[in-house]
Amino acid sequence: MPLKLVRPTWLRRVDWYILALLGTVGLAAVLPAEGKSADAVGTATTVAIGLLFFVYGARLSPQAAFSGLRNWRLHLPILGVTFLLFPVLGLVVTALPTSVLGAELATGLLFLCVLPSTVQSAVAFTSLARGNVAAAICSSSFSSLLGVFLTPLLAAALMQGGSAGGVRFSAGQALSIVVLLLVPFGLGQALRPWIADRLARHRRITMVCDRGSILLVVYSAFSQGVNAGIWGRLFPGRLSVLLGLCVLLLALVLTSITWVTKRLGVGHEDRVTIVFCGSTKSLASGLPIASVLFAGTDVGLAVLPLMLYHTLQLMVCAALARRWNSPAVREEQQSVPSPAPAVG
């Protein structure tokens, strides 16, 4: 009788994509792209970003994004946290003295705060925690759709004139956003009726496209940073401060969401959805947008806060989802009467 290999529990919980991201950063630190190879990587990254947003456009259903928005008690807090509370907290952070965090990291932290919600992780955690999965799909899809247009506008408005690290946005950058992000996204939306089913049937291919493109963007960004000497400016003290600020940011957001959901009197399913859709930020959307917005600057430092926060949100949200799915919490929720349904 053949032996059946059983993976240890800790191994089943490893997020291999996070390990791949960290490995890509390490590869860029040891073997950065230079000279002609840097030009080739830059060209490949540009093509990958366009392909990535084309696939986003083809997969994102406008019907799923806009359906169910009448449930304002659920979707309004999510959008408020994503595009209002986060940017306000980001502005507070950038008001700190430059010596605390540094201009580049402060810029990256503010950029993190204007990103849309993640889709896959928010839906997966909502499902695990027995939340409102249909609402999570609707809300995260609408956030992503809105973020394609709103994130560059918010970033330009909040960082205009160099208020966050001296970043200035030019007409050339605006044109790059249109050409590299909006045009492929719009083309994907236009072709969606003919190719969406094929993409759905070949999820593994689209996953490789998604994650492979992100890894390429990370390698390109950190290669540029290594060539520019960012590691010499990234002191351990500042890295510790950045990690602490990411922890504080996530804690403040989760606390605010908890307070809002209690005031609104939403049930367990909707509360779970608001927590996971409101507190998470999209790495898949953020890295390509950053590579366009911060082209010619230290992209590696600009995206470092996003990568730290993304790793942190996965660990915290996974722990929350497992806790809410525990037998004790399930029994407690079953003993609580359901609230009256929202009107409209």
- Ordered by where they begin, the domains of the chain are 17-324 (1.20.1530.20)
Q: Which two tokens stand for residue 238?
A: 């500042």
Q: Which two tokens stand for residue 129?
A: 């925690």
pLDDT value of position 165: 47
- In this structure, what are the phi and psi dihedrals at residue 178, rounded to the nearest 5 degrees? -65, -45
290 with 306: CB under 8 angstroms? yes
How many Cβ atoms are within 10 Å of 242's Cβ, its own excluded? 24
Q: What percent of the chain has pLDDT over 70?
A: 82
33-49 pLDDT, tens digit each? 888 888 898 889 888 88
Lowest mean pLDDT among 11-15, 190-194, 274-278: 11-15
pLDDT band for 335, please (50, 70, 90 cuts).
low
How many Cβ atoms are within 10 Å of 83's Cβ, its own excluded? 20
pLDDT of 342 above 70: no
242/180: higher pLDDT: 242
CA-wise closest residue to 254 among 13, 68, 77, 18: 77
pLDDT band for 329, please (50, 70, 90 cuts).
low
Average pLDDT over residues 144-151: 86
CA distances (Å), 338 to each of 71, 128, 334, in order? 16, 20, 9
Average pLDDT, the chain: 80
The whole-angstrom separation of Cα 70 and Cα 74 is: 9
266 with 116: CB under 8 angstroms? no
Lowest mean pLDDT among 13-17, 119-123, 226-230: 13-17
Secondary structure (DSSP) of 154-195: HHHHHHGGGTTTS----HHHHHHHIIIIIHHHHHHHHHHHHH
SS3 282: coil
pLDDT value of position 164: 46
Q: Which two tokens stand for residue 102?
A: 């540094």
Torsion, CA 308, CA 311, CA 316, CA 322, rounded to 10? 180
Q: Which two tokens stand for residue 249?
A: 């940011």
Amino acid, res. 15: D
Query: What residue ranges in the chain does DSSP mark as E strands?
Result: none
pLDDT band for 166, please (50, 70, 90 cuts).
very low
